[in-house]
Amino acid sequence: MAICVLGINHKTAELKIRERFSIPESNYKSHLEKLISSELIDSAVVISTCNRTEFYLSTSTLDCLKKEAENVLGFATDIDSVYTKTGHDCAAHLFAVTAGVDSLVVGETQIQGQVKRAFDEASQLGLNGEINKLFQMAFKTAKLVRSDTEIGRNPVSVAHCAVQLGRQIFGSLQQQNVLIVGAGETAELLIRYLINHNAKNITIANRTTKNAKKMANIFQAEVIELAEIESHLSEFDLVFTATASPQQLITRKATEEAIKLRKYKPMVMIDLSVPRDIDEQIKLMDDVFLYAVDDLQKVITENMQRRENTISEAKRIIKAEAELLDQWIKSQQHHNLLKQYQQKVDGIKTTVLAKQIKASTPDDEAKKYQNLAHQVAKKLSHDNISGIRKIIESGNEEHIKLIADLFNLELNDES
């Protein structure tokens, strides 16, 4: 089986295209079931965040994979913004994603949890050895990058950059009325960063009010119903949205009414959701400043400049770990060579013993022959087994073929 990734991200596509590919975590299972129902796909993991949607697959053939995925998933994959990476490149890509090196905000901390949840969801449906090993090594690599480079120091996130943007616009956040739409991980990070910057007046709105009230109790915030957002919108100076809602939650019409009630006092809205929660037409309004994920680039660029020196070291770790996985996969492809060799040795031993041990041979004498044959076979084959194992682990295909020819072993034997 070969490993590959089929995906789209913030580097290859703008937000309006990424929205078409976005998959809520609650829908992972149905997409996974569709993928593994294909005869070409043995195992799959789906990762979808505000910056990317990616399908990690173990497949018997890479030919026509895009077309197969298109048939299974029901959307076009033949656009320039969709990329396919295989083998070593696939592993290096996932390792960079999990470590936060491929993120919009380099070093952001949320992605590792998002990858872990995607892996756990896929694990419930069963994963083969290659995909399981791929993700286990991704988590190991992320840990190495965070512990051995400066990326792990003072970690940041998209939420951090969004709050920084709010501070750049308003200066102090102490007097601003802030609305957080959502009660998930990103919403919690937003609130923590806001409180760290002295924000006092925070209100939470969420589809499930139980989750909103639980968060509000922790942070001494207010709560409103999701359906009440538009009627209360005029009360807020700064609005953040971070949900997985497939529908818009804040419309231009409601915002126009809110601005009138505010007597045209400006508002700032920062939409961290994909698909977007806030109508993009609001950008055309004079007294509302709307920012989406991709608009955080200035804050992110400053973050990148501070962390640039750490990227090369992180990539070195990622490359080394990807090469280790590559060797492991190659060794798995040829692990049957050792089994074949041992079967040959056992076959020769059995043939020799059959000639020496007759029906009339006493049991104790037969046992001596068997013990002696076992010891001789073990000693004679020990060095050969060690050599075959080392060559397989090296991943050198030319040497592996040579050793298979030398001992008359079948490379394509999948037993």
Q: Which residues are catalytic?
A: 50
CB atoms within 10 A of CB 48: 24
Query: Distance between CA 341 and CA 345 in Å, rounded?
Result: 6
Contact at 8 Å (CB) between 237 and 270? no
Q: Which residue has the tokens 């656009």?
A: 79
Question: What single letter denotes the amino acid at residue 382?
Answer: H
Q: Which residue has the tokens 């009010």?
A: 209
Q: Which of 135, 114, 143 is nearest to 48 (CA)?
A: 114
How far, rounded to the nearest angstrom, does the alpha carbon of residue 376 sit from its chain's CA centroid?
50
Contact at 8 Å (CB) between 335 and 170? no
Where residue 288 falls (left for φ over 0; alpha for ψ -120 to 50; beta otherwise) is beta
Query: Distance between CA 151 and CA 410 in Å, rounded?
Result: 47
102 CB-near residues (< 8 Å, 6+ apart): 9, 11, 93, 96
Strand, helix or coil at 212?
helix
Token pair in block for residue 282? 């609001």
Q: What φ, ψ does residue 166 adopt, rounded to 5°?
A: -60, -40
Query: Distance between CA 400 and CA 415 in Å, rounded?
Result: 17
Give the dihedral of Cα atoms 125, 140, 98, 205; nearest 10 deg.
70
Query: Distance between CA 6 and CA 82 in Å, rounded?
Result: 7
Strand, helix or coil at 380?
helix
Token pair in block for residue 27? 């829908």
